[in-house]
Amino acid sequence: MSSSCCSPDGHCSTGTVAGATATAEPVTTAYAVSGMSCGHCKATLTKAIGELDGVTGVEVDVAAGRVTVTSAAEPDDALIAGVVDEAGYELTGRV
């Protein structure tokens, strides 16, 4: 009898559970944010949004009025809008 990872019905069986070692792909979402004008704005939003649970990265492009958020799962737009508003800026939507 030969040793094979395939079952008699043709399905591969490596002894691991499907998805057990796979990690979810990060989600990247870009938002239009108004009111940003300088490096202080960039630092403020990077810190405020970066402190949210699940957020793994924040990129702020002041000139373009864009904030790109990388997170472990689909972000809560209302939560991010609230943090942006609290910081003194306005999230006007996804881009």
Closest listed residue to residue 28, CA positions, set 69, 65, 62: 69
∠ Cα 84 53 44 (to 5°): 35
Rg of the Cα atoms in the chain: 21
Q: What is the dihedral of CA 74, 75, 76, 79, to 10 degrees?
A: 170
Note down pLDDT in tens along the chain; length 95 residues: 555 555 566 555 555 455 455 568 999 999 999 999 999 999 999 999 999 999 999 999 999 999 999 999 999 999 999 999 999 999 999 99
Q: Global pTM?
A: 0.75
Closest listed residue to residue 45, CA positions, set 35, 53, 78: 35
Q: Which amino acid is at 40?
A: H
Q: Residue 82 carries which DSSP code?
A: H
Q: What is the dihedral of CA 83, 89, 94, 95, to 10 degrees?
A: -140
